[in-house]
Structure 1
C-alpha cells in the first residue's frame, strides 16, 4: 500500500480536513487570479412575515428564493466581463481575473441577472434558486 498523506486538521473540532474539501475551481493552466467574492442568500419578506409570521417563512436557507454573488473586479470594465451561468456552476472571465464557482444550490440559469457597478468595481449576479420540491416551499 502507498503511504497515506497525513491529515491536515488544524483544530480537533473540525469535522473534515482541508484536503477533503473540493476547491471552488482550479485551472492550473490559467495564471489569472481569482477575484474576491461573497455569496448571500436572499429572501423576500413583508410585514406579514416580520411581525406576524403568517406565511410560515423562517430564516433558514430553505425559505430563500435567490443567491446573490458579489464579485470585486478592480480595474475592469463591464464590456470585458464574460459570464456564463449554468444550473450548478458560475464561470466568470475577464482579462485580469477568472472565477469558477460550484453553486451551493441549483439555479434557474436562464432567469439570472447581472449588474456591473463601475464606481464600486463590483459585479452582482442574482441567481434564482431552483428547488426540487418548490411546490412544497413557501414562496
Structure 2
C-alpha cells in the first residue's frame, strides 16, 4: 500500500499530467484544453460587456420574455369580485365492443387512453348569450356578468377543435376538448 503514496509515485503522476518543459516552469502550458478548464468555465460564457448570453433582453424596456410568463396568467384579476362557478372535469374515452369484450386494442381505463376532456361548468341564472369563452392549449377562460373562471387544464388540448354546448335545463355549459398529447398518434392506434 505504501508504494502508491510514495513521493516518487506522486512525482511520476505529476510528470504524466503536466510534463515539464526545458525551462522548468510550474505551469501546465502543454496540457490539453480540458485540463486547463476550471470552475469559472461552468455556465454561460460572459460577453465583453459582462452580461451572460442567454439572459439578454430583446428590448431595453422589456422586463421579461413572453415565454417566461405562464399561459393564462394574463386573465388573473385579483380585484374582480365575481365568484368562480362550480365545475367538473371528466375525461372521456371512445370504447367499442372490440375494446370492451375482445380486448383487441391497447386501451385501458387510465387517463392516458382518453381522447377528450369534458369541462362541465354550472352557471345558474345565466343565458347562453352572456357567456364569453376563450380556450387556449392549457387554459380555459370563461366570463359572464355574474361569474368568472380561469382554469388551468390538466392536459394540453386542441383549442380549435373543441365544442361547447349550453344546456338550459341544467343551467350548465359543457365544453368538449380533444386532448393534444405528444404520443397520442402512436399510443391510440
Is TM > 0.5 for Structure 1 vs Structure 2? yes
Which residue does 2:129 correspond to in 1? 79
Matched, 1:109 2:109: no
Is there any run of 5+ residues in structure 1 with no aligned partner, and where? Answer: 1-24
* Structure 1 ranges of 4+ moved more than 6 A: none
Find the aligned partners of 2:138 and 2:187 in 1 and give their Cα distance.
20
SS in 2 for 1:49: helix
Shift of 1:26: 5.2
Matched, 1:94 2:180: no
Higher relative contact order at CA 8 Å, sep ≥6: structure 1 or structure 2?
1
Q: Which has the higher helix share?
A: 2
Find the aligned partners of 1:73 and 1:135 in 2 and give their Cα distance.
35
Is there any run of 5+ residues in structure 2 with no aligned partner, and where? Answer: 1-74
Find the aligned partners of 2:145 and 2:113 in 1 and give their Cα distance.
37
| Deviation digits for residues 68-113 of structure 1 (CA, Å, limit 9, x no counterpart) | 0000000000000000000000000000000010000000000010
Note the aligned Cα RMSD (angstroms): 1.5
Matched, 1:123 2:173: yes
| Deviation digits for residues 4-23 of structure 1 (CA, Å, limit 9, x no counterpart) | xxxxxxxxxxxxxxxxxxxx
Aligned length: 116
Matched, 1:65 2:65: no
Find the aligned partners of 2:185 and 2:97 in 1 and give their Cα distance.
23
Find the aligned partners of 1:28 and 1:86 in 2 and give their Cα distance.
21
